[in-house]
Structure 1
């Protein structure tokens, strides 16, 4: 397993250098969440202009946590993990950002890029709530709340805020967050004009079942309204890799599939993946007509909020590796696994060991 331990100055230098590049690198991601006969399930890809890695980290109950990188805010979020969770962290480009996580109650959270929010960061005002960085806001959400309703109530009560001004390793980025639970509820959090945080509520039957990148949700909805999603001939379904088109295709595809009773979880998972891949996976070398840049899907997760199954795919090599959330419940200390490396070594099941650094 790779050694994640760096001294403070080396970490700052590497992160600053990398993020100077990231700001001009194409970005994308997609997430779908659907109900199935085996329970609510999520498929998520991480797409970028540079190849991405993935480290799976288990955080058991009772760990003392503090958010990193919130110097611009009066209060920094501190917490003790209330719920056992498993997180997906990216070190190769984003130096430890948690992109996706799920807890023992079946609440999951996903962090995706949202370029259009970056222009509004200057207008965001400190709400006085404890601030949590984009580095570990996903961890915070799944380690403290059991459902989407609980997250929404905490948001409305100003129990937490995002450290927008401090960004990631000193560079500001537009990002957005969704939370989805095993009851099928979904909430999407976005920074809008005037620095206003907006929460969209829905469920697996609503358009929030699909999540992509820019533009903001209201603009996605205006774009989708121009197309008849009931038309099975799909005459007006666009084919580009742009976020607008990926979101629209995801809504079209998920509108027409049937996840049948009587099929095994493996069969259901296969259908979820084929549905996602047909509309939202990004092949290498294609050009986004919106920005003229290229990016690709490097890693992908599919997980079940009820039975705990998790399958990871590295699309650089098409290698896969998996585990079951329930098999991590006995861990009493933080454990990690480099899933990309282990899959490349031919392992089919993730092998966890003590994290070398946090």
Structure 2
């Protein structure tokens, strides 16, 4: 029997089609950012109706970069990496989309699904700023900015915009972007009614410490306001995997977590992960009552934005692997590591090779 390998354009076309067919199952993924005795730290999951992968990419300082998949905009973003960055790239479904990125200055950016923004894309107007495709947005932020204030100021000064119309490989999606730095400052970027970009500001003590999916932030706040998060009986805390319930549970659990300064980073990370998993992890085969779809957590990472420690878990096989971003700072070229493949092979520490 004849076998063949799809060329890249064909693979992208099929991937775009597969993304479109599961858009209804997209209300997944979560992120929490907490201040700990060892520094601000983030836990992030990637959840979807199809199994996802994860490749880490190192982008050294001085790397020439551009966001070319922005044909609907007058100006495409072009830059050179200012801050050494490691990004988490999903290649199995969202071909070459960077879901999460962190630089050596302790700034990180997270891209999550936001289905409710999709209907507003038609009203978004090109601002004339350099446009960044969703596939590049987290790396663009991490490679160019040191703090949340810098990134937000640049956005407000019309130095960058998101290429909403062009979506991911030509397929439009509602998404939203969180930026968090090692001071605990957080900014959440969302597309609202009328094509208006809204930037919510807060910190690890605010409700922005938890990020889920639809509905929009103001609607999450209305839903959460009906529950007393200080009630340890938790008799009003919902149990479904829906985004609004995961967001509420995340706020409830993180409201009551106590992080002991005498504990090691490994112990602190373990507590962060158990807190996240209790409130936000999505087991396989459950049904979301909001959309009737099923999806699951496939990959998860926890990282310390001060020390640079990065811990990856593949939930399909319950295998883990680690590295520290500071171990990559001497790389002078783009380097890659398939974390799913290496973790499944029993490796505990990442091996970097030249990207294919």
- TM-score normalised by length of structure 1: 0.97
**2:277 corresponding residue in structure 1:** 277
Partners of 1:219 and 1:263 lie apart in 2 by: 37
- How is 1:1-358 mapped onto 2 (pairs within 5 angstroms)? 7-356=7-356
Q: Deviation string for 1:42-81 (max 9, x for gaps)? A: 0000000000000000000001111031000000000000
Alignment partner of 2:109: what SS? strand
Q: 1:6 offset after TM fit, Å?
A: 7.0
Runs of at least 5 residues in structure 2 that lack an aligned partner in the other structure:
none
Distance 2:158 2:166 in 1: 19
Equivalences, count = 352
Shift of 1:11: 4.0
Question: Is the CA contact 2:25–2:291 (under 8 Å) kept in the aligned structure 1?
Answer: no
Shift in Å, 1:302: 0.1
Cα contact 2:182–2:305 (8 A) shared by 1: yes
Higher mean displacement: 14-23 or 34-43: 14-23
| TM-score calculated relative to the size of structure 2 | 0.97
The Cα offsets for residues 208-258 of structure 1, whole Å up to 9 and x where unpaired, read as 000000000000000000000011111100000000000000000000010
1:77-119: CA deviations, max 9, x gaps?
Answer: 0000000000000000000100001001000000000000000
CA distance in 1, matches of 2:327, 2:26: 37
Could you tell me how far apart the structure 2 residues matched to 1:240 and 1:98 are? Answer: 28
In the TM superposition, what whole-angstrom CA distance separates every residue of 1:308-341 from its partner, at most 9, and x where no partner exists? 1100000001000010111011101000000000
1:21 positional shift: 2.4
CA distance in 2, matches of 1:199, 1:110: 14
Query: Counterparts of 2:156 and 2:7 in 1: how far apart (Å)?
Result: 38
- In 2, the alpha carbon distance for the partners of 1:335 and 1:183 equals 28
- Would the aligned equivalents of 1:335 and 1:354 in 2 still touch at CA under 8 Å? yes
Residue 45 of structure 1: SS of its match in structure 2? strand
Cα distance in 2 between the residues matched to 1:101 and 1:84: 10
CA contact (8 A) 2:24 2:293 kept: no
1:292 offset after TM fit, Å? 0.6
Shift of 1:18: 2.5
SS in 2 for 1:349: coil
Is the CA contact 2:26–2:115 (under 8 Å) kept in the aligned structure 1?
no
- Give the root-mean-square deviation of aligned CA atoms: 1.1
Secondary structure of 1:292 counterpart: coil
- Secondary structure of 1:19's match? helix
Classify the secondary structure of the residue corresponding to 2:121: helix
Q: Distance in 1 between matches of 2:240 and 2:326?
A: 39
- Give the stretch that moved more between structures: 19-28 or 248-257: 19-28
Cα separation, 1, equivalents of 2:305 and 2:152: 19
